[in-house]
């Protein structure tokens, strides 16, 4: 009898220990791995002169991968520079006139001060002051007239400067610069092809950290939080391979379970989407199915 009670006690203790975790043999969530994919498109039109990238390549951020033909843009820039030089030569003549008039205005202002001082000493007349003031007004009107004549030339020069900046921007955008660290998933173009603005060149994604999107029930929601460590399992040869994961996002609203969930009963239930960041050792691929196991034993 004592031996029976001893065995029964051990059984109860073992049952209580196993009940702390997920003892039903089922994962807490199912889903598939995904990554943020970015499609890099051409920002200019023309012949693809160089394009050094292949599917599977790991490329660094700001890496130069090739360029689109810039000869037409360069020729257009040279043409604008010539036009600017011609217009500037016209403007120089007008500016020289303004310079002469400004010099006369400065002399006239000096004479006005002298006459005002003479009047204070009773050595000058009001007529002398009026003559100098009238001369100053005439010079100012002449300066305004020349400036009005020069305004279209100045605006034209400003317009050319804006066009030159646009050309420089297009030349810069003819370079294919990789925007993020990642792995090339798909290549859409080849060297010597004619491309156009907005045409896809390649698709890239950062596969160093993969995201597992899973769906959990409302009852499981209280067991998880952002930043929590969980276990992620994928199919291996004979057993399941485990990874450490960190919950990075939890949906704020419930939704009907996607069809990737196995049973019909689960597919009609409301669930919450969860994203888990998992460090990729090279074995995780986009679209690969996986299981989420919440470490409730902790």
Mean pLDDT by 10 residues, the chain (298 residues): 39 37 69 94 96 94 96 95 86 71 85 85 82 86 76 84 96 96 96 96 95 89 92 89 94 72 56 93 92 74
- Residue 20 is predicted with a pLDDT of 40
> Are 41 and 198 a contacting pair, CB within 8 Å?
yes
Provide the 10 A C-beta neighbour count for residue 238.
5
| Residue 2: per-residue pLDDT | 39
Q: Which pLDDT does position 202 carry in this prediction? A: 98
The closest alpha carbon to 29, from 240, 290, 270, belongs to 290
pLDDT for the residue 257: 60
What was the pLDDT predicted at 93? 66
Give which of 25, 33, 20 is closest to 223, Cα–Cα.
20
The per-residue pLDDT for 142 is 79
Cα–Cα distance measured from residue 250 to residue 264, given in angstroms and rounded to the nearest whole number: 24
Query: Which pLDDT score, from 0 to 100, does residue 243 have?
Result: 95
């Amino acid at each position: 009898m004592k031996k029976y009670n001893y065995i029964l006690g051990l059984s109860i203790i073992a049952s209580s220990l196993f009940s702390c975790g997920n003892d039903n043999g089922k994962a807490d969530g199912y889903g598939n791995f995904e990554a943020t994919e970015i499609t890099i498109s051409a920002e200019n039109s023309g012949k693809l002169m160089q394009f050094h990238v292949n599917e599977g390549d790991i490329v660094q951020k700001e890496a130069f991968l090739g360029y689109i033909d810039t000869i037409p843009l360069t020729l257009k820039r040279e043409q604008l520079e010539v036009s600017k030089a011609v217009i500037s030569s016209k403007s120089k003549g007008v500016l020289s006139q303004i310079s002469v008039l400004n010099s006369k205005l400065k002399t006239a202002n000096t004479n006005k001060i002298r006459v005002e001082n003479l009047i204070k000493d009773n050595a000058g007349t009001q007529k002398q002051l009026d003559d100098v003031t009238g001369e100053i007004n005439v010079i100012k009107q002449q300066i305004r007239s020349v400036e009005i004549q020069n305004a279209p030339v100045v605006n034209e020069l400003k317009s050319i400067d804006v066009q030159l900046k646009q050309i420089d921007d297009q030349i810069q955008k003819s370079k294919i610069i990789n925007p993020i660290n990642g792995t090339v998933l798909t290549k859409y173009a080849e060297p010597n092809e004619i491309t156009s603005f907005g045409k896809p060149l390649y698709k890239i994604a950062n596969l160093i950290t993969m995201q597992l999107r899973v769906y959990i029930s409302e009852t499981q929601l209280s067991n998880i939080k952002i930043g929590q460590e969980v276990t992620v399992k994928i199919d291996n040869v004979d057993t399941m391979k485990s990874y450490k994961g960190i919950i990075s996002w939890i949906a704020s609203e419930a939704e009907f379970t996607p069809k990737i969930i196995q049973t019909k009963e689960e597919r009609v239930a409301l669930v919450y989407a969860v994203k888990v960041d998992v460090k990729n050792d090279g074995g995780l691929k986009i679209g690969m199915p996986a299981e989420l196991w919440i470490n409730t034993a902790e």
